[in-house]
Amino acid sequence: MRVELEKLENHEGVAVKALLDSGATGLFMDTTFAREKGFKMERMKNSLLVKNVDGTVNVGGAITYQVECNMFFKGHIERVRIDVCNLGKTEVILGMPWLAAHNPEIDWEKEEIKMTRCLSICGKGKQEKKKKEVKKIKKDEDEETLRKLVPKRFWKWKKVFGKRESERMPVQKAWDHTIELKERFTPKKRKVYSLSREEREEVQAFVKD
């Protein structure tokens, strides 16, 4: 799968061909690839012994460095820490921890991967939860504003004052009627008549009453 990794220090993006591997116990980046692309490698406090798929010890020795970066995939964004080791021709491996966190929907026949089932531990899940919380807060604020602006006797009709209702046509009713125009009638554009200050005050007073 093609993903993009963004360096934290300069926001430079690097396109990467990542391998999904349910047998891998972590996220890994090839040492040579990391150096060639200029990723900032941070030394780990404790080294980590890594073994190959066949159980043999990796020729690169223990893992002593990590790369922290942002990873982008089809609108999905997350901050990741990737262990650096010798992967040969493979650039990046996304192992079981990543698969377990996101539970991606994979169509092997079409070679498609969809991020539709992210779990709560995924950053996307947390972002969606935060969006819902913000939306609820905004809704509560709108409700409070509406109650301040609209007299209490009209609260039972508060729905008609909402933004959604104001942006659509009224529901058709039985008493609606068509304005029939003469067959040869042609609408004419007329200028808008301006009102004097006294006339405007009269209109405003009438509307308020």
- The answer to whether the Cα torsion of 31, 33, 35, 37 is positive or negative is negative
Predicted local distance difference test score (pLDDT) of residue 204? 84
In Å, how far are 3, 90, 122, 155, 194 from 152, measured between CA atoms?
A: 55, 67, 44, 5, 35
At 186 the pLDDT is 83
pLDDT (tens digit, 0 to 9) for every residue of the chain, 209 residues total?
889 999 998 888 999 999 998 888 889 999 999 999 999 999 988 888 777 666 677 677 788 899 999 998 887 888 899 999 988 889 999 999 888 888 888 888 888 888 887 766 565 555 555 556 656 656 666 677 777 777 778 777 766 666 666 676 767 777 777 778 888 888 777 777 777 888 888 888 888 76
pTM more than 0.75: no
> How far, in Å, are 3, 50, 169 from residue 69 at the CA level?
12, 21, 49
Distance between CA atoms of 107 and 76, rounded to whole angstroms?
18
- Per-residue pLDDT, 124: 57
Pairing of strands 92-94, 13-20: parallel
- Give domain 2-119's CATH number out of 3.40.1400.10, 2.40.70.10, 1.10.10.410, 2.40.50.140: 2.40.70.10
What does the CA dihedral 149, 153, 159, 164 come to, rounded to 10 degrees? -30
- What is the Cα gyration radius of the chain? 31
Query: Can you list the positions of beta strands (E) in 37-90?
Result: 41-48, 63-73, 76-85
